[in-house]
Amino acid sequence: MHFLALVLVTILMDITSALECYVCDNQEDNKGKCVTTIKTCDYGEDICLTELKWGSTPYWQEGAFKQYYVSKRCSTKNKCLRYRSSNMAYCSHIWWQDWKCSECCKGDRCNYYIISGSDQARSFTAISTTAILYDQNQSKTVSLMPHRCILWKR
């Protein structure tokens, strides 16, 4: 009887301590599925993985429309860290290039927010690519682009 109770308590502890992550695959923003679909992670999955991509799909074409792609899922710590490390070289946030970033977090539903906040970044992209400022004192033109500021001397 005590053995059965011990087994039951162990099973209940595993069930109640299971990690919950938001899950979605290649969504255009961090709304809808990405913030409403929750998965109880499988045994051994102890990390939530978030991936943010910027680019055109399925193949790169000159002048092709670029957009964000958000993916979220459960992972193990080792897999997530390997994945994050392999994406680090491509995590440039340069608006005219395709890029991919990933992030690992631990804790129930810790991946609600994404790395760059694609909704805000999309608005910022539209505004900042058209903004040109002129500084009369310095005789410099400043062109604002997403994630960078470039100065040209006249």
Domains, the chain, ordered by start: 19-153 (2.10.60.10)
* Of 6 and 142, more confident: 6
The pTM of the full predicted model, rounded to 2 decimals, is 0.63
Cα 91 from Cα 98, distance rounded (Å): 9
The pLDDT, as a whole number, for residue 2 is 61
The token pair that represents 83 in the structure block: 């994945």
Residue 44 per-residue DSSP state? T
pLDDT in tens, 33-48: 999 999 999 999 999 9
Question: What is the per-residue DSSP string for 82-145?
Answer: HHHHHHGGG----TTS-EEEEEEE-STTTTSS-SS-HHHHHHHHHHHTT-EEEETTTTEEEEEE
Tell me the average pLDDT of the chain.
73
